[in-house]
Amino acid sequence: MKASCGFQDLTVSDWYAVNHEKLDKLKWTEFIAALRKCFLPRNWVATTEVKLLNCHQREEQTFDDWVDQVEKINVLLCSSTSAFSDDRLRSHLTANAVVDLRDFVAKPTTIAVTDYEDWKAMMSTRDITRVRDRLRMLHLINAHAASRSSKVSSSGVSSMPTAAGSGGKKHPLVLTDEEKELLKKFGGCFKCRRFFVKCRTGSCKTGPPDGSTYHALTMADVDAARSRRDKENKSSTVAAVEDIVTDMDSSSSVVAAVADLAASVAGASVDDGSGSDTDNFQYVAPLSVPHLSFTAIIHSPSEVASPLPLLIDSGSPTVLIRDDLVSQLKLRRRKLPHPYPMGNAWGEGRKSCNDYVHLKVSSPDFAWSSVVCQAIIVPSLFAPVILGRPFLKANKLLVDHASDAVTVANTGFDIRNHPTPAAADHSHAALCASQRRVLDELRERTRDKLEATEANILPRVPAVLAIREHLESVAQHEQLLCENASMKREFADLFPSSLPAVERLPTDVYHCFELKQPDIVIHRRQYDCPKQYREVWRKMLQDHLDAGHLHPSNSPYVSPCFLIPKSDPTAEPRWVNDYRLLNNNTVPDSHPLPKIADILSDCAKGKVWGKTDMINAFFQTRVHPNHVKYSAITTPWGLYEWTVMPQCCRNAPATHQRRRFSALRKYIGKFCHVYLDDIIIWSDSVEQH
C-alpha cells in the first residue's frame, strides 16, 4: 500500500508492519476505518463535531482565515456520517459570522447565489471592505485618544513668566547654594523666595519675584521675615489650612489639608533652585526596603542542615531553590513533566528548568514545620531559596508588610520571630561523644537494677551444662540438615533443576485475561537491550521455548519486555514484561492475599517450622488458549506469546494464590499457610513435622 511509506509516527508504522498482510487486502475506506478504530478515541467523531460547531468568527479574524479553519476541521470528519455538506457548511458559516457579514448574508443578492464557492468569494469580497473599515475606525480612535492625552498633559504645565522686554516681570537669577540653604533652614519657598511661609513650589500662588528689583538673600532678610511673622502670630507653631486646586481634564476638586509647620516642611515638594515652575514632588515612602527573609532549617535525608536565610516573596508564582544547595543537602532530584520557563523582570534571557525537589522547612527551634512543597531547581539565585506563593498558600501563611510578620492564618503563630540557635557541631566525633555520654548516663542509672537481677533473679548456669546445651543444639541442626537432604532425595521429581515442561501442567485450571474493552488493540515498540545481556537473554528465551512456555506469535497485541540485573552479578537477570497498558484494560481479580499478622499468629502455635519456596511458580499455570494472544511480547529476536502465566500481568498473583489455597484449603490455619509462592509449615516436634 503506497500510503504506508509516508507514515511519520513510529507506532502507526509498527502497527502496519505487523498487520500488513491483512491491511493490504482492504479498500481505502476500510483501511481508514481500521486505522481510526485502532488509534483514535472512541468518541473522536463527537469531539471533532463539537469543536466544529463551536468555531465562531472573531472580529479581528478575516473571513478567508476562518473558512480555512472550519474546512480543515470538517476534513477530519470525511467518510463519517457527521461530515458537513456544502449546504450545511454555508448555514454554519452564516450563523457564526460577525454581525456585519450576517447582515450582508440576509440581502436578496447574496441569497440568490446558490453555488458554495461563488458564495464564499462574494463573502470574502465583502469581508475585505469590513476589515478595511474596522482598521480605519481603530486608527481614528487612536488618533483622537493621542490628541486628547496631549491636551491633558499641556493643561497641567504652567507657562514661564514673560521676559522684561515683553511687558512682564523679569525672571530672577538662579538660586545660589547659600540661598537654598537659607530657604531650607527657615521654611522658605523656592518659588516666591520668602521665609516662614506655608506655600511651597507646587502650591505657591505668589509667583517668582521681579528680577529687576531682586537681590541675593541674606540673614538680614531672614531676621526681617521673622519679625513680621512674630507680629502676625503669637505662637511659633502655626496650623495652616490650604486649598490645593488640581486641574485635570477640565474638572476641579478642592482638597483641604491641615498640617503643622514642621510636618509641611518635611513632606513638601522640593525645587531644584533653577527658578523653573516644574513640580518635583518628594515621595514620603522609602525608595527600597530590605528583603523579607525567614531563617529556617531545610529537611535533608543526608545531614542536619544549619539554619539558612530563605527569601519570602509573595509575588513569585513558584518556589525556587539553588542548584548547589540541592547538591550539598543531597536532596532527590525529580523530573518535571514539562520544562518550566524562567525569565527576569524585564522579560529577557528566558531559560527553562527541568528538575525539582520536595522541600520541607522548619523554624530553627522546630516550633513550626511546613508541609512538603515542590521547589524548582535553578542554576543561580541570589538567595538559597525563594518561598513563593505556592509555599505561602499551602501553609496558610499571611504576610504583614507593615510589621514584617509572617503568621499562620489559623493560629496566629509568627514564624519569623524566633531566635536562631547557635550552629551545633554535627561532626562524627561530636556525635560519638554525645552517644558515649548517653550510654554512660544510662549505665549509671541502671547499675543497681542490673546487679540485683544478676544476683537474685538469673541463676548462674554451670559451664558443663552450657556446653551440653550447645552440643545438643549443634546435633539437632545437623539432624535437620540430614532430614532435609533425605526429603529432597525421596521427592526429587518435585525439585527440578530446569523449567517445568508445559506438557506436565494440569489442564483443569487456566489463567485468563478478561478485558474491559476488547476492541482496544495494544501495540508498543521493543525497548533497547544492552549488549552485555543479549546472550543471556537469548539463552533464557531458548529455555522457555524448549519448555513450551513460549512460541512464535502473529498477535496484534504487542507489549515490550526487558531485563533487570539482580544484586548478585553471577545470577541471571530478571525477565520483566511491560504489561502496563494491558493491565489498565484488564478486569481485576479480587481474590485476597492472607494477612501477615494472621500468619504469624498461627505460626506461634508450633515449635518446629519449615518453609518451602516454589521456583518458577507462575510458570506452572497454563494460559487459556483463547487468551494467549493477549500475552504477546516483542523481543530482539521476534514476536512471541506465553502459553503459561507470565509475570507482571495484573491478575497473576490472584490466580496463583487461588490455586495454592484451593490445593491446601483443609490444612490452612491448622499447620500451614500459603503466601503466593511461599509455604510455611509448623509442628510440635521433628518427628511430627
Whether 289 has a pLDDT exceeding 70, the answer reads yes
Whether 232 has a pLDDT exceeding 50, the answer reads yes
When pLDDT is averaged across residues 540-546 and rounded to a whole number, the result is 90
Highest mean pLDDT among 186-195, 524-533, 645-654 belongs to 645-654
Model confidence at 2, in pLDDT bands (50, 70, 90)?
Answer: low
Highest mean pLDDT among 203-207, 281-285, 355-359, 616-620 belongs to 355-359
Model confidence at 470, in pLDDT bands (50, 70, 90)?
Answer: confident
Domain 40-132, CATH 1.10.1200 — does that match? Answer: yes
- What is the per-residue pLDDT for 386? 92
Which amino acid, residue 314? S
Q: For residues 428 and 440, give the distance between their C-alpha atoms in angstroms, rounded to a whole number.
A: 18
Model confidence at 277, in pLDDT bands (50, 70, 90)?
Answer: very low
Whether 375 has a pLDDT exceeding 90, the answer reads yes
Q: Which three cell numbers stand for residue 139?
A: 486608527
**Chain position carrying cell 493491565:** 583
- pLDDT tens, position by position, 131-182: 888 888 888 888 877 776 665 445 443 433 443 333 445 556 678 878 888 8
Burial label for 463, CB within 10 Å (0-12, 13-18, 19+), is exposed
Q: Which residues of 464-476 are buried (b: 16+ CB within 10 A; e: fewer)?
A: eeeeeeeeeeeee
Highest mean pLDDT among 63-77, 398-412, 623-637, 662-676 belongs to 623-637
Q: At 44, give phi and psi (nearest 5°).
A: -65, -30
- What is the per-residue pLDDT for 551? 92
| Pick from 517, 521, 526, 519: nearest CA to 19 | 521
Q: For residues 441 and 357, give the distance between their C-alpha atoms in angstroms, rounded to a whole number.
A: 41
Model confidence at 259, in pLDDT bands (50, 70, 90)?
Answer: very low
Whether 333 has a pLDDT exceeding 60, the answer reads yes
Q: For residues 465 and 461, give the distance between their C-alpha atoms in angstroms, rounded to a whole number.
A: 7
Considering only residues 425 and 65, tell me which one the structure prediction assigns the higher pLDDT: 65
Model confidence at 632, in pLDDT bands (50, 70, 90)?
Answer: very high
Whether 416 has a pLDDT exceeding 60, the answer reads yes
Q: DSSP H helical segments within 199-353, as ranges? A: 219-232, 261-266, 323-329
- What is the per-residue pLDDT for 302? 67
Whether 631 has a pLDDT exceeding 50, the answer reads yes
Model confidence at 374, in pLDDT bands (50, 70, 90)?
Answer: very high
* Mean pLDDT computed over every residue of the chain: 78
When pLDDT is averaged across residues 634-662 and rounded to a whole number, the result is 90
Same fold, 40-132 and 494-688: no
Residues 6+ apart with CB under 8 A from 509: 621, 622, 659
- Least trusted range by pLDDT, from 226-230, 510-514, 534-538: 226-230
Q: For residues 94 and 135, give the distance between their C-alpha atoms in angstroms, rounded to a whole number.
A: 23
Question: Pairing state of beta strands 308-312 and 385-387?
Answer: parallel
Residues 6+ apart with CB under 8 A from 277: 158, 160, 191, 201
Question: Pairing state of beta strands 510-511 and 622-623?
Answer: parallel
Most distant pair of Cα atoms in the chain: their distance: 135
When pLDDT is averaged across residues 176-194 and rounded to a whole number, the result is 84
Instruction: Count other C-beta atoms under 10 Å from residue 558's C-beta.
Output: 20
Q: For residues 606 and 127, give the distance between their C-alpha atoms in angstroms, rounded to a whole number.
A: 93
Q: For residues 486 and 490, give the distance between their C-alpha atoms in angstroms, rounded to a whole number.
A: 6
Segment (H or E) for 38: helix 28-39
* Contact in structure between 186 and 196 (CB atoms under 8 Å): yes
Model confidence at 255, in pLDDT bands (50, 70, 90)?
Answer: very low
Model confidence at 670, in pLDDT bands (50, 70, 90)?
Answer: confident
Whether 535 has a pLDDT exceeding 70, the answer reads yes
- Least trusted range by pLDDT, from 315-319, 376-380, 444-448, 557-561: 444-448
Q: For residues 34 and 40, give the distance between their C-alpha atoms in angstroms, rounded to a whole number.
A: 10
Task: Please tell me the pTM assigned to this model.
Answer: 0.35
Give the 3-state secondary structure of residue 674.
strand
Q: Which residues of 61-91 are buried (b: 16+ CB within 10 A; e: fewer)?
A: eebeebbeebeebbebbeeeeebbeeeebbe
Considering only residues 661 and 268, tell me which one the structure prediction assigns the higher pLDDT: 661
- What is the per-residue pLDDT for 238? 36
CA dihedral 409, 412, 416, 422 (to 10 degrees): -120
* Contact in structure between 550 and 544 (CB atoms under 8 Å): yes
Burial label for 415, CB within 10 Å (0-12, 13-18, 19+), is buried
DSSP code at position 307: P
- What is the secondary structure of 497-531 as a DSSP string? SSPPPGGGS-SS-EE---BS-TTPPPB-PPPP--G
Give the 3-state secondary structure of residue 581.
helix
Q: For residues 564 and 530, give the distance between their C-alpha atoms in angstroms, rounded to a whole number.
A: 11
Whether 274 has a pLDDT exceeding 50, the answer reads no
Whether 307 has a pLDDT exceeding 60, the answer reads yes
Give the 3-state secondary structure of residue 112.
coil
Considering only residues 319 and 140, tell me which one the structure prediction assigns the higher pLDDT: 319
Task: Tell me the percentage of the chain whose pLDDT exceeds 70.
Answer: 81
* Contact in structure between 647 and 653 (CB atoms under 8 Å): no
Q: At 299, give phi and psi (nearest 5°).
A: -70, 130
- Which CATH number is 293-342+351-414's, of 2.40.70.10, 3.30.1330.30, 1.20.1050.10, 3.30.930.10? 2.40.70.10
* Crossing angle of helices 28-39 and 10-23, rounded to 10°: 140
Architecture of the 494-688 domain: Roll (3.10)
When pLDDT is averaged across residues 575-592 and rounded to a whole number, the result is 91
Q: State how far the alpha carbon of 681 is from the alpha carbons of 261, 314, 479, 662, 677, in Å.
A: 99, 63, 18, 17, 13
Highest mean pLDDT among 193-202, 253-262, 501-510, 514-523 belongs to 514-523
Which amino acid, residue 3? A
Q: For residues 509 and 624, give the distance between their C-alpha atoms in angstroms, rounded to a whole number.
A: 9
Q: Would you kindly state where each structural domain of the chain is located, as residue ranges?
A: 40-132, 175-208, 293-342+351-414, 494-688
* Contact in structure between 63 and 127 (CB atoms under 8 Å): yes
